[in-house]
Amino acid sequence: MVRARIALVLGLALGSVLGLGAAPLAAQAAPRVGYKVEGTCDGWPRLPIDTAAGMCAGLVLGPVPGAFADRQLRLPRTLVQLDEQTWLVADLADWTRPRGVIWKLTAAPGQTVQLQPLLTGLSLPHGLAIGPDGLAYVGEMSRIFRFDPRAPDPAATVQDVITGLPDNKLHDNRHPLSQFVFAADGALLVNVGAPSDQCLDANGARVGTDRCDQSEGQEATAGIRRYARLAPGRWEPTFTMLARGLRNSVALAVHPSGTVLQAENSYDFDDRWSPFEEVNRIEAGRHYGWPYCQDLTTPTPGWAGAMDCASAAHTPPAALLPPHVAPLAMTWYQAAMFAGLKGKLLMSWHGYRSTGGRLVAFAVDAQGVPLTRSKATYPTYPSGSRPFGAGPAAQAQVLTPGWGRAEGVRPQGTPVGITVAADGAIWVADDKNASIIRFAVDRP
């Protein structure tokens, strides 16, 4: 009887995932992304992702089996909840053409998942948040705009908020994505990524002589811009540089205490174990080292001598992260579903190397900054761990210890956006696998 009930629930849930409605279990197949579905996770099809005790992963939405290229959702990056069953999803869709979409997703276990495009033809939409005015704010390449997702015609409500951000129209900007957060004083803090990896040209020569033109010049890249709030819904059209020397601040978050935290996507060195990624506590006027410094006090090869990385000129990270994990989102867990995560910092590791493909949590201090220890270690796929060998490093609590590639079972995860739902479940956008995944308490 129990087995029959599970089969029925799974059949309904798979129908919702694939947009097919209720259908017999035998008629369903695993998505082409490689996830083998078996059983249920809190009402959703259970994914074979090994999770922390008491947690499981459920597939909300994924590609139709055998038709991955025809999927509606292509590169989901971020998501926010509008109400109990309604979400907005920013779909980057294409790195080279303006094909981005803001989707309205309606989802409930046992029901057909609905995807409705609210805005289309966007250029690299990534940042997504509900503003203090209740409107949806979107970070598109070169601008931030807002719109009313509840309006009869959402496209007619689009209004520019910030313009003139760097773009990638000539394909010479390595980090064109717009990410933003609302500071405690109402200012908009906007990531402006470095145009290159190390501020070196194709021949390995410096872009600049004594200092990096990309970091210090008038373009004001490789940092975080601050746009002061003028009035409700209005910000200064000009900016000040809140902080410099940050290669790519896609992971930005503001703690209830007011602390601004940034997780740094560091240099793309060929070395598998170097350099470390970083967590930085952002303070006005500080320089965090790009492209002159790496890790704590080590000069980078291309810019040795340009900055004394052990001096006050360089603000070292608050904590080191494993190399090449590519942190793309973070938020503090304040819900009730997982008591053991209360107050902790959640972070997605998107990286494709053996250190990436994970959802993790960190214990934090009263300001929301990860605690560190001198003998921290970090995990690697397929199994094992390595010592940092330097400190201070943050010791991650790995919530998905088995999200690496397993042939015929699952692909390696590529988590990006994280949102804690009203019921305490953790929703994650998995971009390369075109999936929305719900991590919940482990029950059928």
Q: What is the mean pLDDT of the chain?
A: 90
Q: What is the pLDDT of residue 65?
A: 52
Nearest to 265 by CA among 179, 336, 150, 137: 179
Q: What is the pLDDT of residue 175?
A: 87
Average pLDDT for residues 232-238, to the nearest whole number?
95
Tokens at 258, concatenated: 């007011």
Long-range contacts made by residues 340-346, C-beta under 8 angstroms, separation at least 24? 340/54, 344/397, 345/253, 345/261, 345/370, 346/399, 346/418, 346/420, 346/426
Contact 410, 393 (CB under 8 A): no
Nearest to 88 by CA among 427, 440, 334, 333: 427
| Beta strand 286-287 pairing with 240-244 | parallel
Q: What is the pLDDT of residue 7?
A: 35
Residues in the chain: 444
pLDDT digits (tens, 9 = 90+) for 51-101: 999 999 999 998 755 556 778 999 999 999 999 999 999 999 999 999 999
Q: How far apart are CA 324 and CA 197, in angstroms?
A: 13
Q: How far apart are CA 6 and CA 419, in angstroms?
A: 28
Question: At residue 122, does pLDDT exceed 60?
Answer: yes
pLDDT digits (tens, 9 = 90+) for 188-233: 999 999 999 999 999 999 999 899 998 887 667 899 999 999 999 9
Nearest to 280 by CA among 253, 254, 261, 293: 261
User: The domain 67-432: what is its CATH number?
Assistant: 2.120.10.30
Please tell me what DSSP assigns to residue 216.
H
Domain boundaries, the chain: 67-432
Buried b (16+ CB within 10 A) or exposed e, 84-97: eebbbbbbbbeeee
Nearest to 39 by CA among 63, 6, 17, 16: 6
Q: How far apart are CA 417 and CA 425, in angstroms?
A: 14
Contact 137, 109 (CB under 8 A): no
